């Protein structure tokens, strides 16, 4: 394994860091409320960053999402790249790629995903029925990649949905409830759907683990900065051993999330089986992510309880990412079942 970024991946990551640093400021995030930042999304697409994922792969996307997570930038980058660009590029027909990818690259087409398939959507003769209780960034999306109860993948235009009801989550992800009422849908690709479903789910787990790594890194950076200048009993909080130990544990947890996400992304890009690695990365993102964002808030003392403080956004994002695509115990159970299937004994 070699996680050293290519020149293209490094260039995309550095450009993303500059754009997020310039536009995802505390003031702009506060002004955006629970909605997305349309200007920031236009800047990312004008720079060609979503489209670059076709070349830089899932590992390149993880690097971009780390930078987004550091700033808790409110844009549908993870969703539109995983459920849109990567899904269509890897599993769409030639006609679907030609029709959808240009809009996905320039940001005029935004795709989110009703994932994972939970049995809430039933497909029959090319029509979908049912409801998905919450879909991230649904209010921004032009299309939704819906997984039915049989793990088939369908593209649905949001304007054709029977109903979209706004839903507020822990994190400001412009979510909504998707209601489908015997509506026509477009099958993604021509295969049975199971392999495509599994591949998209792996990519989603890895991508959102990368996002969590960035959220945790940003929370820890804020805690380090705060404890370095905040004094107690005449010396900085950072000089107290208890504070140093909490910060060190949070750093190790953050690195564990990062390295497991990198490994899973690398395996995916190399065409290797990445299911176990993706579950491992998702488990670390869930379990360790919770610890890190709690630590970040705790090390801010009373300031951490201020809902308007920047560190609180990291807390909200960390808890939402813990819940998305399965919490730690669910992921661990799934990983155990997967390992047991591969054990001849």
Question: For every residue of 222-271, which 3-state class applies, written as one string?
Answer: HHHHHHHHCEECCEEHHHCHHHHHHHHHHHHHHHHHHHHHHHHHHHHHCC
Residue 118: band (very low, low, confident or very high) from pLDDT cuts 50, 70, 90: low
**Nearest-angstrom CA–CA distance, 241 and 244:** 5
pLDDT the model gives residue 1: 75
Residue 345: band (very low, low, confident or very high) from pLDDT cuts 50, 70, 90: low
pLDDT tens for residues 291-333?
Answer: 999 999 999 887 888 888 899 999 999 999 999 988 989 999 9
Q: Which three-class secondary structure state does DSSP give residue 343?
A: coil
- 8 Å CB contact between 123 and 131: no
SS3 content of the chain, % helix, strand, coil (to 5): 60, 15, 25
pTM higher than 0.75 for the full model?
yes
pLDDT tens for residues 210-246?
Answer: 999 999 999 999 999 988 878 777 788 777 888 899 9
- 8 Å CB contact between 67 and 17: yes
The 10 Å Cβ neighbour count of residue 98 is 10
Give the number of residues written for the chain.
Answer: 345
Give Cα separations from 89 to 42, 53, 83, 151, 209 (angstroms).
22, 10, 10, 19, 21
Mean pLDDT of 71-90: 97
- 8 Å CB contact between 40 and 24: yes
The answer to whether the peptide bond before residue 345 is cis (omega within 30 degrees of 0) is no
Q: Which three-class secondary structure state does DSSP give residue 323?
A: helix
Asked whether residue 190 carries a pLDDT value surpassing 90, the answer given is no
- 8 Å CB contact between 16 and 44: yes
pLDDT the model gives residue 3: 79
pLDDT the model gives residue 99: 96
**Nearest-angstrom CA–CA distance, 173 and 75:** 8
Q: Which three-class secondary structure state does DSSP give residue 319?
A: helix
CA 6 to chain centroid = 22
Helix axes 7-23, 38-46, angle to 10 degrees: 150
Least trusted range by pLDDT, from 96-100, 167-171, 232-236, 310-314: 232-236
pLDDT tens for residues 200-213?
Answer: 999 999 999 999 99
Residue 195: band (very low, low, confident or very high) from pLDDT cuts 50, 70, 90: confident
pLDDT the model gives residue 344: 57
The 10 Å Cβ neighbour count of residue 297 is 22
């Amino acid at each position: 394994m070699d996680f050293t970024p290519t020149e293209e991946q490094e260039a995309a990551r550095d450009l993303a860091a500059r754009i997020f640093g310039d536009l995802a400021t505390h003031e702009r995030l506060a002004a955006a409320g629970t909605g997305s930042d349309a200007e920031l999304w236009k800047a990312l697409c004008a720079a060609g960053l979503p489209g670059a994922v076709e070349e830089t792969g899932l590992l390149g996307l993880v690097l971009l999402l780390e930078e987004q997570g550091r700033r808790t930038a409110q844009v549908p980058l993870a969703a539109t790249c995983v459920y849109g660009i990567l899904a269509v590029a890897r599993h769409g027909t030639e006609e679907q790629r030609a029709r959808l990818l240009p809009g996905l690259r320039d940001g005029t087409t935004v795709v989110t995903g009703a994932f994972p398939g939970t049995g809430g959507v039933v497909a029959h003769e090319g029509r979908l029925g049912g409801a998905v209780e919450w879909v991230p960034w649904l209010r921004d999306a032009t299309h939704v990649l819906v997984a039915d109860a049989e793990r088939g993948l369908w593209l649905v235009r949001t304007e054709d949905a029977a109903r979209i009801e706004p839903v507020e989550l822990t994190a400001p992800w412009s979510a909504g409830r998707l209601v489908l009422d015997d509506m026509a849908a477009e099958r993604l690709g021509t295969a049975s759907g199971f392999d495509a479903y599994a591949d998209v789910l792996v990519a989603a787990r890895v991508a959102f683990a990368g996002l969590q790594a960035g959220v945790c890194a940003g929370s820890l950076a804020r805690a380090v900065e705060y404890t370095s200048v905040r004094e107690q009993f005449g010396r900085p909080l950072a000089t107290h051993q208890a504070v140093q130990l909490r910060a060190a544990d949070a750093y190790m947890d953050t690195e564990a999330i990062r390295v497991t996400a990198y490994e899973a992304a690398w395996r995916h890009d190399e065409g290797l089986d990445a299911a176990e690695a993706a579950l491992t990365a998702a488990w670390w993102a869930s379990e360790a992510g919770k610890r890190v964002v709690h630590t970040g808030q705790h090390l801010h003392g009373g300031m951490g309880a201020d809902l308007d403080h920047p560190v609180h956004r990291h807390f909200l994002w960390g808890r939402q990412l813990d819940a998305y695509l399965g919490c730690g115990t669910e992921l661990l159970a799934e990983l155990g079942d997967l390992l047991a299937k591969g054990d001849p004994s």
